[in-house]
């Protein structure tokens, strides 16, 4: 009996010694994950390509949202906080289908140009096309509302940001534009008949957050419990 109790006590003490170390490692992991992931918020607006001369614009059809010029549609990044303070420009892709939640992903690719949102002749655009520091869409939808004599269109965006080192953070945002001197009925009629509304300037904003540290700790707790259980089995069998 005494031998069994001794083994049980030793196993318990050993398991207790493991927990602080594992927990400390978990806190370190949580802190490093938050530090490496993209966090913060930003606003954006259509940019400009100098050669050939083209302003970044939107074309809306019933189920699609297309951006021009292609293959790169620059956007200027402003009011950027957190990780996004490192960027002044992005490249935005198309929403191919609102109904099926299909988009050109990554939907945004962040980087830097000499002038925010402006591609000068011969300028290196690698940073906004390299697939690092991106926002990918998981779903999107839009709503149409009358705003005075114009129609306001609001596009809701949900997805995730991926940092250059591969960490992911939750993200969401909105993209807005307007159709002048139209009614909601007129716009809906155009879209329903298979038509589109083009040459629209746009702006928007988005933000990124990482999972709460408690979530990361909760996931890691499973690993701690499994490790303690294995250790107890080893002690008892010995």
Contact 71, 113 (CB under 8 A): no
Q: Greater confidence, 143 or 212? A: 143
pTM, 2 dp: 0.75
- Quote the CA–CA distance of 57 and 46 in Å, as a whole number: 7
Count of residues for the chain? 238
Q: Is the pLDDT of residue 10 over 60?
A: no
What pLDDT is recorded for position 213? Answer: 59
SS3 annotation, the chain: CHHHHHHHHHHHHHHHHHHHHHHHHHHHHHHHHHHHCCCEEEEEEECEECCCCEECEEEEECCCEEEECCCCCEEEEECCCHHHHHCCEEEECCEEECCCCEECCCCEEEECCCECCEECCCCCCHHHCCCCCEEEEEEEEEEEEEECCEEEEEEEEEEEEECCCCCEEEEEEEEEEEECCCCHHHHHHHHHCCCEEEEECCEEEEEEECCCHHHHHHHHHHHHHHHHHHHHHHHHHC
What pLDDT is recorded for position 211? Answer: 66
Q: Is the pLDDT of residue 206 over 90?
A: yes
For residue range 116-154, list pLDDT tens digits in order: 999 999 999 999 999 999 999 999 999 999 999 999 999
What pLDDT is recorded for position 92? Answer: 98
The phi and psi torsions of 91 (rounded to 5 degrees) equal: -120, 125
Closest CA to 188 of 231, 222, 142: 142
The phi and psi torsions of 51 (rounded to 5 degrees) equal: -145, 105
Q: Is the pLDDT of residue 229 over 60?
A: no
What pLDDT is recorded for position 91? Answer: 98
Contact 216, 36 (CB under 8 A): no
CA atoms within 13 A on the CB side of 150: 8
For residue range 77-104, list pLDDT tens digits in order: 999 999 999 999 999 999 999 999 999 9
* Average model confidence (pLDDT) across the chain: 82
For residue range 160-195, list pLDDT tens digits in order: 999 999 999 999 999 999 999 999 999 999 999 999
- Quote the CA–CA distance of 138 and 135 in Å, as a whole number: 10
């Amino acid at each position: 009996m005494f031998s069994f109790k001794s083994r049980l006590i030793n196993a318990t003490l050993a398991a207790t010694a493991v927990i602080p170390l594992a927990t400390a490692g978990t806190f370190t992991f949580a802190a490093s994950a938050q530090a490496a992931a993209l966090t913060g918020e930003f606003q954006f607006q259509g940019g400009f390509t100098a050669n050939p001369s083209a302003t970044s614009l939107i074309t809306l059809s019933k189920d699609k949202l297309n951006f021009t010029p292609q293959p790169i549609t620059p956007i200027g990044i402003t009011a950027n906080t957190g990780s996004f303070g490192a960027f002044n420009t992005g490249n935005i892709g198309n929403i191919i289908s609102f109904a099926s939640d299909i988009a050109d992903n990554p939907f945004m690719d962040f980087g830097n140009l000499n002038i925010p949102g402006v591609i000068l002749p011969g300028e290196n655009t690698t940073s906004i096309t390299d697939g690092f520091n991106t926002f990918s869409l998981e779903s999107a939808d839009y709503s149409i509302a009358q705003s005075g004599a114009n129609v306001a269109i609001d596009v809701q965006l949900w997805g995730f940001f991926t940092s250059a080192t591969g960490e992911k953070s939750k993200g969401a945002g909105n993209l807005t534009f307007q159709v002048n001197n139209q009614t909601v009925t007129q716009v809906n009629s155009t879209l329903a008949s298979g038509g589109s509304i083009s040459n629209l300037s746009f702006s928007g904003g988005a933000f990124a957050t990482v999972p709460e540290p408690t979530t990361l700790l909760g996931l890691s707790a499973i690993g701690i419990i499994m490790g303690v259980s294995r250790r107890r089995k080893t002690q008892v069998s010995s």
